[in-house]
Amino acid sequence: MWQYLGRRLLTSLSVLIGVSILTFLMLHFVPGDPVHALLGRQAISPERLEELRQELGFNDPIPVQYFNYVANVARGDLGRSLKNNRPVLESILEQFPSTLQLTVTALLISTFFGILIGLINAVVHNTAPDKVISILTITGISIPPFFLGLLLILFFSVRLNWLPATAKSNDPKGLILPAITLAVGEACWLARLVRSSVLEEMNKSYRWTARAKGASERRVMLHHVMRNSLIPIITAISLQFIALMAGSVVVESIFARQGIGRLAVTAIQNRDFPLVQGTVSFIAVIYVLINTFTDLIYAVVDPRVRLQ
């Protein structure tokens, strides 16, 4: 187990180093002068431009810039935003709780409804309700969140005036619409997966063996079929968490919520190098943590994984 954990951590570390190098290179190979990008279309003399490049360290060779950056990160200093001069870490820590709150709420909604609808769908398979549920879930997967979000706002905020469209980030009522917007697609996707996974297990011979040994249908479903269907579903949920974090970028913008996704997008638009580097690396750390965590659960649920 410890060896397994150690191996996982080493892989994670190399992934993080890879991400930081790639982000760094991508930022520096985008055409156009970063200082120009930072200033917008402002009249500025070449002397001042050169001064700023020097000041911000853009004149150093790229490997030197990268190692300076890594050395600072190792000291816990992610730098300051070029745009508003705030410490990058402070901005990230300020914005992340809102993203986490949104993502976890959406995950709970999508997991609960995804599994529930998927199970019902599997149990009633090849009947009329199966077709109806399938059509609904496929529709849910197909609606892009930016469109769904606007529909929900139009209906629940503008028409009915039940829920705020743009509540302040600390208002719990403001969490409902964004979380639903984010969760719908993932819930439907999970439902499809649960349906096929459960159907596959239901057709396996151990189910008939268990029935022949006298176990009730209910017991067979819950203890045998469900447990074996769980393995792909756990992977799916952890993937979902990552997909929800990515989706939060769009939802945060539509509902004008605080969040790290929106922070990253604005930073990229402004070519605010330290802030982009900081947010992307932070998101990468979260992804790696979730993946490692999933692998660990995997090992608990499925003893075969540990032996590999």
Partner 1 sequence: MKQNKYLIFILVIAAVLISSVAAFAQSEGGSITIGLAVEPVSLDPAGGLYIPEQFLIQQIFDPLVAADPELNLHPALATAWEVNAEGTEFTFTLRDDVTFHDGTKFTAEAVKISLDRAAQGTTPAAAAPAILTDYIETEIVDDTTVIVKFSAPRATFLQDLSRPWLFISSPAAIEQYGDDYGQHPVGTGPFVFSSWAAQDNIVLTKNPDYNWGAEFYSHSGPALLDEITFRFLPEAATRLAAFQSGEASIVQDPSYLETSLLATDPSVQVFTFAAPGMTSHQMINVENAPTDDLNVRQALIYAVDQETISQIAFYGLQPAAHSVISPTTWAYNQAAGDLYRYDPDKAAALLEESGWVDSNGDGIREKDGVNLHIEYPALPAYEEAFMELLASYLQNAGFEVNITKLDDAGVSEFGAANKHNILNMGWISRDPSVLSYVYDSANIDGGNQSAYARFRNDRLDEILHTAPQTIDEEARKALYEEAQAIIMENAIALPIHAYGSVYLTDASIAGFRFDSEGFPFLYEISFAAE
Closest distance to partner 1 from the beta carbon of 25 (Å): 17
Distance CA 162, CA 279 (A): 34
Among 121, 197, 228, 258, indicate the residue that binds partner 1 (CB under 8 A).
258
**Please, which residue, 31 or 76, has the CB nearer to partner 1?**
31
Residue 150 touching partner 1 (CB under 8 A): yes
Contact code string over 216-255 relative to partner 1, x by CB under 8 A: ------------------------------------xxxx
Closest distance to partner 1 from the beta carbon of 55 (Å): 8
Residue 279 touching partner 1 (CB under 8 A): no
Among 40, 61, 76, 172, indicate the residue that binds partner 1 (CB under 8 A).
40
Among 15, 16, 39, 143, indicate the residue that binds partner 1 (CB under 8 A).
39
**Please, which residue, 80 or 207, has the CB nearer to partner 1?**
80
**Please, which residue, 90 or 217, has the CB nearer to partner 1?**
90
297 CB-contact burial (10 Å; exposed 0-12 / middle 13-18 / buried 19+): middle
**Structure token pair of residue 235:** 């992977």
Among 256, 290, 297, 301, indicate the residue that binds partner 1 (CB under 8 A).
256
Least Cα distance to 168 among 102, 257, 262 occurs for 257
In degrees to the nearest 10, what's the CA dihedral of 272, 275, 279, 284? 80
Q: How many CB atoms lie within 10 A of CB 213?
A: 8
Least Cα distance to 88 among 99, 78, 96, 98 occurs for 78
Listing DSSP states for 187-228 in one string gives HHHHHHHHHHHHHHHHTSHHHHHHHHTT--HHHIIIIIIHHH
SS3 (DSSP) at 302: coil
Alpha helices in the chain (DSSP H): 2-29, 34-39, 46-56, 62-74, 88-123, 128-142, 145-152, 176-202, 205-212, 217-219, 226-254, 260-269, 273-301, 304-307
* Residue 175 DSSP one-character state: G
Among 41, 75, 213, 218, indicate the residue that binds partner 1 (CB under 8 A).
41
Contact code string over 56-95 relative to partner 1, x by CB under 8 A: x-----------------------x-xxxxx----x--xx
Residue 172 touching partner 1 (CB under 8 A): no
Contact code string over 17-36 relative to partner 1, x by CB under 8 A: --------------xxxxxx
Closest distance to partner 1 from the beta carbon of 101 (Å): 13
Contact positions vs partner 1 (CB under 8 A): 31-46, 52, 56, 80, 82-86, 91, 94-95, 150, 153-154, 157-158, 161, 164-170, 252-259, 262-263, 266, 271
